[in-house]
Structure 1
Amino acid sequence: MKTKIPLLLLIFNIVFFYSQEKKTEKQIDSITTALWSSKFFNDEGLVKLTELYYQAKEIDYEEGQIRLLKRIVEIKSSYSDFISALQYLKYLKSLSLSVQQYEEYIYANCLEAKIFFMDKNYSQAKKVLNLAERYLYKIPDKEKRRKAKTEIYIYQWYNFEKSKLPKSSYADSLLSISKKLYNEAVLIENDHKRAKSVLYSTNLMVNSLILLKKYEEAVKYLKIGGQELKTFGEVTYLGVDYYEAKGDVEFNFKHYKGSSNDSALASYNKAIKIGEALGYTAKTKELYSKVAEIYREKEDYAKQALFLQKSSNLEDSIQVKENKGLNEVKSLLYANKGDVTETPSQNRTLLYFLSAVALIIIVIGGGKLYFNKKKNKIQPLEKVTSEKDPIVKTNAYNHLISLALKNDSSFYLTFLEAFPDFSEKLLNINPLMKISDIEFCAYIKLNLETKQIAIMKKISVRAVEGKKYRIRKKLGISAEENMYIWFLKL
């Protein structure tokens, strides 16, 4: 009976919500504010937010649509519903640009970067965030620009942290990013937004300082975060992060006043309680593991095993959900036509120009191939020479080569503008191809030599050859087949 009552209430709320007459902009804003609460970061909230979005769309209320789209994408991403999240993300980016709300456009790119780094494509996530930074100067309002900058720093921090490099290689970078975030956050004028950004920055700062074993400085920022938590609220995702950070300090820094395994356990358990209530499963999984470690030190092996099992169970369910979502989304995500590469006014002109170039390439290249075949002059070379390259060396082509050799962050998306079907063709062969794989294939498509790729990517020739071998395996290219010719024919 108890389970039926909330369900009936939910159905009643939804029916009531749907039955309302057309709402005004003021009403939409009021309801959106109410739905922004953490208690609506769930299916119920998603239903109401989506319905409200379409009502805002019906009356052409663009600002309301943007605000609602942000929350919808956040919830869908947290559910690993990436296909749907990317569709709404596309609307969010397009609408934000059309009304010149560049701070929202930047945030949309931050959410896209999150999907990339969840797929372990950290280099592409970094490129998307770098491209987002190019729009900061377009935001005239200082407060909004500062808020947008803090969003970029947050996602840069997580991209570094999730890359799982050796601690010595990224701990300083994490600390640097979190300090930049903190320095911007404290200047935000709006109390609630400042509390949120400062709390974010102190949580990340504490994590960074613990990695560097700078525990006394970590305690300093933990106290600052505790003050901001009073303003922002405990029963939030940031509240979970705060109590986890507090537990980490107490567990690692026994000289901190009142620190012990018991105090750390209390902090972790508080974080777990909030996390479970909010459905914050990824963080809850990590917390279970940390609690298990405390019980190991306390030699309570039964409870250690219990929490390890809890962590393992959550890990399995999260992994299945994320893998399903990411596998479904790869072709859509990786075939994205690069609308963040250039400013909106440049995109259409570049697309027309490159389409014309592609047509010239097909006509002239096809004629050259036919003539060479007739003369029997095409030989199975390890690398196609420029004389036998069916790609005409146009300015656009040379521009792509230049971007590649400079290891420019805009290369990948610019390449997809020139070869819009390239990623889709590769993903049709192997849906598990990552962006880093597709980008490497683009270098081969452009006829770049092994040594050139090694120099621009700052890796060894042997590493490039190893990458070529793995690409062959993924795409089923036999050892006897010329890799460069294979890609030129693709």
Structure 2
Amino acid sequence: MKQWLFILILSLGISKFYTQTNPALQGNEKNEVDFDPALKKNINSKQIKIYTESYWQSNQKNDIHGQISALLNLAKLNFECHQNYNNVLAYIKEIEQLADKDDYLVLSESQAIKSSILIKLGLQKKAKKYIDEEGILSNKILDEDDKRFAKTLYYGSLSLFYKSQNKQNSVIYFSKKQMAEAKWMSDINPTKYSKIIEAANILSTTSIELKDYKSAAYYLKIQEKYIENTSDIKNLSLYYLNKAIFETETTKDIHAAFQDLKKAENLALKIEDEYLLNLIYPKIANVYKSKNDSKSQITYLRKSEKIKEIITENEWKTLQALTLDVNEKNDNAFKKYTLFTSLALIFFAILFFLLKDKVKIQPGGDNSLPDSETNTDEKNFYIEDLYQLALQDDASFYPNYIKKFPHFESQFLQINPSMKTSDIEFCAFMKLGLTDKQIAESKKLTLKAVIAKKYRIRKKLNLSLDIDIASWISKFIN
């Protein structure tokens, strides 16, 4: 009787699980643009204030072109400084609502910004769709100079896309095409030199990665040639960073490399570009290490860790707004997978109990089950015990789990030795099929904190957002 009662409770639990509403998907229907110039870190606050004022003046005059221009500048400024991608996406959404369907240049620019954000967040498949759309739109532009500018954006997006996949040959191919388009642009176009330097930056970086120092030197010279014609601080900082890496790997001139790294750092700090600082700080720390200056090395390593935390937080906030559809699809797929698995377990459990009863009533037969079946039964109930310990956040859960699955921890540490016990315990919760809500209740955390923790674990495991982490753990980790 107890066995049948357990099956009934399990069935009701599954039914309840599939009728619950996911709270993470609620309260996100409205996406308003935040035009408050007093932003968190006041990055280029003067320019933001100017563009914001320009937007409102254009809005009052019903000047659509003026509104779009101001919004594009706000989007670019926020994107280039990596402050808050949520703001950028809100600006882009407003731009696409205001723009005419045949304003191909504006729409192409908006696709380029969106694809860049998605690539940085690891959503390559979704990014590629926007890049393809960007290419189609750029071909429809009639003005020759505007078309060339749009093409530089398109080839730049493709270069970034293939860089995220470590396909250096493709990066070089599309960066060269980007540079060629930029060189054909009119000299009076203010973006011409920035685009040439941008392409040369990527080409020099990739050449250094491939140990092609001759090509790297060539592209550094191109940057030096055009650098005085632009006020692009980001590309100037990247130039000094690449130059420092080149000097370190070729001439071994640590002093010159250090001076260039400090120039790169000061420029990145000027625009508070976290992604640039994330590249620069570890390089400076390495220089201090070579000088046996442990104190300064530790200082820059701590700065690097702090920047990584900021980047992770910004990415997570964006994912909250950006990938609800991805999460919902993954959640639905996981629920279906769990439903079918659970129904199969129930079916086999019923079949098992029926066969067990049949064996018991056979005259003169052996009433005991074979050892393998007994062990399976005990294992199922042991997993149920672990499940209950997890729900109660019992301190004995993790030791008992590792005792039962001795290779579970080592498999994660082989992937990333920096994974903490708390990370692996979270993975054990997911392996047992606990929902985000159940984990939050067990660990006395907010749902937001649980989602953030899972995102950090995903980063440590190097899993793209197209992969459901719970399903991946269930499939590949024993």
TM-score normalised by length of structure 1: 0.57
Question: 2:124 maps to which residue?
Answer: 122
Name the structure 1 match of 2:178: 181
Shift, 1:309, TM fit: 1.6
Indicate if the aligned counterparts of 1:80 and 1:325 stay in contact, CA closer than 8 A. no
Matched with 2:64 is 62
Aligned twin of 1:262:
255
Q: Tell me how far apart the structure 1 counterparts of residues 242 and 469 of structure 2 sit (CA, whole Å).
A: 43
Task: Identify the residue that residue 283 of structure 2 maps to in structure 1.
Answer: 290
Cα distance in structure 1, aligned partners of 2:191 and 2:50: 24
| Ranges in structure 2 where 5+ consecutive residues have no aligned partner | 1-36, 329-342, 345-434, 439-446, 452-465
Matched, 1:281 2:274: yes
Task: Say which SS state the counterpart of residue 279 (structure 1) adopts.
Answer: coil
Amino acid at match of 2:59: K
**Percent same amino acid at aligned positions?**
21
Q: 2:235 aligns with which of 225, 233, 238?
A: 238
- What is the CA-CA distance between 1:201 and the residue it aligns to? 0.9
- Inter-CA distance 58–428: structure 2 relative to 1 (3 Å threshold): farther
Residue 116 of structure 1 deviates from its aligned partner by 1.2
Equivalent residues of 1:73, 1:85 under 8 A apart = yes
Q: 1:297, CA displacement in angstroms? A: 2.7
Please give the residue correspondences for 1:353-364 in structure 2 after superposition, counting only pairs within 5 Å: none
CA apart distance, 1:427: 12
Deviation sequence 1:381-410 (CA, Å, 0-9, x none): 9xxxxxxxxxxxxxxxxxxxxxxxxxxxxx
Classify 1:123/1:83 alpha carbon distance in 2 versus 1 (closer, same or farther; 3 Å). same
Q: Is the 8 A contact 2:282 2:304 kept in 1?
A: yes
Name 2:90's counterpart in structure 1. Answer: 87
Q: Shift of the alpha carbon at 1:76?
A: 3.6
Amino acid at match of 1:202: A
Which residues of 2 match residues 87-106 of structure 1 at below 5 A?
A: 87-98=90-101, 100-106=102-108
**Contact map agreement 2:112 2:134 (CA 8 A) in 1:** yes
Partner of 1:223: 221
Separation in 2 of the partners of 1:226 and 1:249? 14
Distance 1:84 1:291 in 2: 31
Worse-superposed segment, 280-289 or 151-160: 151-160
Q: Separation in 1 of the partners of 2:103 and 2:469?
A: 45
1:123 Cα deviation from its structure 2 partner: 1.9
CA separation of 1:110/1:244 partners in 2, compared to 1, >3 Å: closer, same or farther?
A: same
Q: Structure 1's 181 and 321: CA in aligned 2 closer, same or farther, altered over 3 A? A: same
1:14-50 Cα deviation digits (max 9, x unpaired): xxxxxxxxxxxxxxxxxxxxx9xxxx96233323312
Indicate yes or no: 2:51 matched with 1:49.
yes
Deviations 1:225-273 (CA, angstroms, capped at 9, x unpaired) = 111110003x61111111111112111222xxxx611111111110101
Give the Cα separation in 1 of the matches to 2:128 and 2:467.
Answer: 21
Give the alignment of 1:8-407 within 5 angstroms: 42-77=44-79, 78-98=81-101, 100-163=102-165, 165=166, 170-191=167-188, 192-233=190-231, 236-254=233-251, 260-331=253-324
User: In structure 2, what is the Cα distance between the partners aligned to 1:125 and 1:54?
Assistant: 31
1:395 corresponds to = none
Larger Rg: 2
Distance 2:206 2:290 in 1: 24
CA distance in structure 2 between the aligned counterparts of 1:262 and 1:205, rounded to whole angstroms: 25
CA distance in 2, matches of 1:201, 1:427: 43
Q: Is the 8 A contact 1:215 1:249 kept in 2?
A: yes
Count matched residues: 310
Q: Is the 8 A contact 1:82 1:329 kept in 2?
A: no
Q: For each residue in 1:82-116, what CA deviation from the matched residue of structure 2 results, as whole angstroms up to 9, or x when unmatched? A: 33322221121233334x22111111011111221
Query: TM-score, normalised to structure 2's length?
Result: 0.58
- Aligned AA for 1:181? Q
Q: Distance in 2 between matches of 1:196 and 1:329?
A: 29
- In structure 2, C-alpha distance between the alignment counterparts of 1:325 and 1:468, rounded to whole Å: 18
Change (3 A) 1:197 1:310: same
Q: Deviations over 1:301-350 (max 9, x none)?
A: 33222211221122222222332232243337989xxxxxxxxxxxxxxx
The alpha-carbon deviation at position 175 of structure 1 amounts to: 1.2
Q: Which runs of 5+ in 1 are unaligned?
A: 1-34, 336-379, 382-425, 434-465, 475-490
Q: Does the 8 A contact of 1:86 with 1:333 survive in 2?
A: no
Asked if 1 retains the 8 angstrom alpha-carbon contact of 2:85 and 2:314, the reply is no
Letter in structure 1 aligned against 2:307? L
Conservation of the 8 A alpha-carbon contact between 1:331 and 1:427: no
Which secondary structure state, in structure 2, belongs to the residue aligned with residue 135 of structure 1? helix
TM-aligned CA distance change 1:280 to 1:469, over 3 Å: closer
Equivalences for residues 399-418 of structure 1 within 5 A:
none
What amino acid maps onto 1:285 in structure 2?
Answer: N
Over the residues paired in the alignment, what is the CA RMSD in angstroms?
Answer: 3.5
**Whole-Å Cα distance in 1 between the matches of residues 248 and 186 of structure 2?**
35
| Structure 1 pair 302–84 and aligned structure 2 pair: CA distance change class (3 A) | closer
Secondary structure, counterpart of 1:134 in structure 2: helix
C-alpha separation in 1, matches of 2:323 and 2:220: 39
Give the Cα separation in 2 of the matches to 1:97 and 1:333: 29
Does the Cα contact within 8 Å between 2:75 and 2:92 map onto a contact in 1? yes
Q: How does 1:433-448 map to 2 (within 5 A)?
A: none
Aligned-residue offset at 1:80: 4.5
User: 1:266 and 1:142 mapped to 2: Cα distance?
Assistant: 42
